[in-house]
Amino acid sequence: MRACVVCKRRKSLESFGFSHIHPKRRNKSCKNCIQKGTIWNQRHKSKRNIIQKHYFSRNKDRILSAQRSMYDKYRNRERLRSKQYRILHKQERQVKQKKYYRQYHELCKLRVKSWANRNPGKVRAITRKHQASRDHRIPAWANLKAISMFYKNCPKGMVVDHIIPLKGQQISGLHILSNLQYLTPRENSRKSNKYPY
């Protein structure tokens, strides 16, 4: 027997369903109270949204902190669940994404442009990765995260260059961290695809 936190009545364990967050634990509210709450939410959607927004604005820091700690605790499980969901609902998600893109085409373009302006290092890393993958110059053991950080930390007025060119005249290098260096645009243009320079 246990007491429901909503109606305060003591009921048998069978009256309490299992939590979807913790499948081995039972909910603190009984099934009847949860059902009543669900029906009320469906009938009063606008009122519920106002209450939720008001509550969130008053407790924003605490809620975000709790969500972050919960995600960190169950990160691998959440990633696996997200991956499974994406696989199971692939076509449905594609249809929704296309519909959203058609409806908010200009907004999507603006977001992409804004992100690119805020993250020029990441953009360069992605562009270089695509160029290198076309030439099959990325080995399986390459540390892509470290390469991305190398591009991100590129000093202002400098560019990232491959010490041994990816498509050299006599020798071709790999798209790996040890083959990257910073050069001025002028030096990079002068060097071109020659090795040794």
Residue by residue, pLDDT tens for the chain (197 residues) are: 889 888 888 988 888 888 877 778 888 889 888 888 888 888 888 888 899 999 999 999 999 999 889 888 888 888 898 899 999 999 999 899 989 988 998 999 999 999 999 999 999 888 887 777 656 788 888 888 998 899 999 998 899 998 888 877 778 888 889 989 999 988 888 888 788 76
Q: According to the model, what pLDDT value does residue 55 have?
A: 93
DSSP H helical segments within 14-143, as ranges? 31-43, 45-58, 60-73, 75-88, 90-103, 105-118, 120-134
As a whole number of Å, the end-to-end CA separation of the chain is: 80
Sort 64 into a burial class: Cβ within 10 Å, 0-12 / 13-18 / 19+.
exposed
What's the confidence (pLDDT) of residue 129? Answer: 78
With residue 161 as reference, give the H or E element that holds it: strand 159-162
Instruction: Write down the pLDDT at residue 137.
Output: 80
Q: For position 135, what pLDDT does the model report?
A: 63
Q: Each residue of 68-86: pLDDT tens digit?
A: 898 888 888 888 988 999 9
Residue 23 token pair = 């499948």
Question: Which pLDDT score is estimated for 99?
Answer: 92
**The dihedral sign for the CA sequence 97, 100, 101, 107:** negative
Give the span between the Cα atoms of 29 and 6, in whole angstroms: 6
Phi/psi-derived region of residue 147, left when phi > 0, alpha when psi is between -120 and 50, beta in every other case: alpha
Cα 102 to the center of its chain, rounded Å: 23
Q: Give residue 134's pLDDT.
A: 58
